[in-house]
Copies of this chain bind each other. A is one copy, B any other.
Amino acid sequence: MIDRITIIGPGLLGASLAIAIKRHHLSRKVRFWGRNLQKLSHCLQQDWCDEIDPEISRAVQESDLIVLCTPVNHICRTLASIAPHLSKDSIVTDVGSTKAKICNFADSLGLASQFIGSHPMAGSDKSGYQNACPNLYEDRSCILTPTSKSSDKNLEFIKNFWTSIGMRLGIFTPETHDKVVASVSHLPHLVSTAICHEMNDSVEKDWLPFSGQGLWDTTRIAGGDPKMWQDIIDQNRPEILKKIQAFKHHFSKLEDIIVHKDEEAAFLFLQQGQIFRKTLEASLDSKKNGG
């Protein structure tokens, strides 16, 4: 057990993390910092928060681990404001859903050895510490993005930290991380949102109760917080634009096939999509079985 963890940002992710830390006895003290003093005072009344400090320079002192749980586009400026006050022994990580900008920025601040980027793939439709959930991180994936400058000892520490609260780890470079989440997460979100726009234009409201599971599933993620997604787009713009191009290429190919009534090509295109889906299902099955 370590002495103190400071969590920057008392939202859903921060508060859920504090609960998990307490439950698994990972730290004697959990300290919170947040911009909103009233919210911070409320946190102090919860059993997952031992200390608060409204002064960020003090909040990070005497902490073994600092976890940045602010919105993704505040992480860099928060890193800048804590950097001068960090002890050399403190380890810093974050929960941001993009990684290259953040890790490069940490490097530019001279934190390359201390900072190891994390992207725990956990979340909820709800937000705020009031919705904190004890098992938000349990049995979910977490990508770590150490660089060549990261200290091995610190990486080991961060690996242990996330696995202790029940996460499955993957390790990739920050750049690979951003490229892949642009495919597996950001592109599906944008596509889902564009489907909603098409429906909004063309489907009378009295028809919605007759839509099936397909529309339900493909539009679920479009219900996500627009501000959060605006930030993600801002953080990962070049990779997202590449994925948009790639998607448009495939979608136009399908359109051509349909225009030209090419039955065989239509079957093959649909079949290839089905094969990918089966591969995805198999890979997630093997994950569930510990593979």
In the complex, identify which listed stretch (A48-56, A129-137, A273-281) lies at the interface while the others stay far away.
A273-281
Given contacts A244-B255, A255-B244, contact A187 B196 (CB under 8 A): no
State the CA gap A209–B196 with chains docked (Å).
Answer: 27
Q: Are A221's CB and B217's CB within 8 A?
A: yes
Quick check: is A34 within 8 A (CB to CB) of the other chain?
no
Interface majority SS (helix, strand, loop, mixed), chain A: helix
User: A225 — which chain B residues lie within 8 A by C-beta?
Assistant: 274
Q: Are B226's CB and A274's CB within 8 A?
A: yes
Quick check: is A184 within 8 A (CB to CB) of the other chain?
yes
Given contacts A200-B272, A221-B218, A226-B271, contact A233 B194 (CB under 8 A): no
Q: Please give the distance in Å from A278's CB to the nearest CB on chain B.
A: 7
Q: Please give the distance in Å from A225's CB to the nearest CB on chain B.
A: 8
Q: Supply 8 further A-B pairs (C-beta < 8 A) apart from A188-B195, A224-B270.
A: A121-B210, A168-B209, A170-B210, A197-B253, A209-B284, A226-B273, A230-B270, A234-B263
Q: Are A266's CB and B233's CB within 8 A?
A: yes
State the CA gap A141–B207 with chains docked (Å).
Answer: 11
Q: Are B283's CB and A226's CB within 8 A?
A: no
Quick check: is A202 within 8 A (CB to CB) of the other chain?
yes
**Which chain A residues numbered 234 to 269 have a C-beta less than 8 Å away from chain B?**
234, 237, 240-241, 243-244, 246-248, 250-255, 258-259, 261, 263, 266-267, 269
Q: Are A203's CB and B184's CB within 8 A?
A: yes
Q: Are A212's CB and B261's CB within 8 A?
A: no
Quick check: is A199 within 8 A (CB to CB) of the other chain?
yes
Quick check: is A128 within 8 A (CB to CB) of the other chain?
no
Q: Are A281's CB and B223's CB within 8 A?
A: yes
State the CA gap A242–B236 with chains docked (Å).
Answer: 32
Number of copies: 2
| Number of chain A interface residues as a range | 35 or more
Given contacts A211-B184, A217-B220, A218-B217, contact A194 B281 (CB under 8 A): no
Quick check: is A198 within 8 A (CB to CB) of the other chain?
yes
Which residue of B has the minimal Cβ distance to A179?
B202
Which residue of B has the minimal Cβ distance to A251?
B194
Q: Are A267's CB and B227's CB within 8 A?
A: yes
User: A179 — which chain B residues lie within 8 A by C-beta?
Assistant: 202
Q: Are B202's CB and A183's CB within 8 A?
A: yes
Given contacts A185-B214, A250-B198, A266-B233, contact A283 B209 (CB under 8 A): yes
Quick check: is A222 within 8 A (CB to CB) of the other chain?
yes
Quick check: is A69 within 8 A (CB to CB) of the other chain?
no
Q: Are A193's CB and B248's CB within 8 A?
A: no
Quick check: is A24 within 8 A (CB to CB) of the other chain?
no
Which residue of B has the minimal Cβ distance to A252?
B248
State the CA gap A45–B153 with chains docked (Å).
Answer: 68
Partner of A214, one of B221, B226, B234, B248: B221
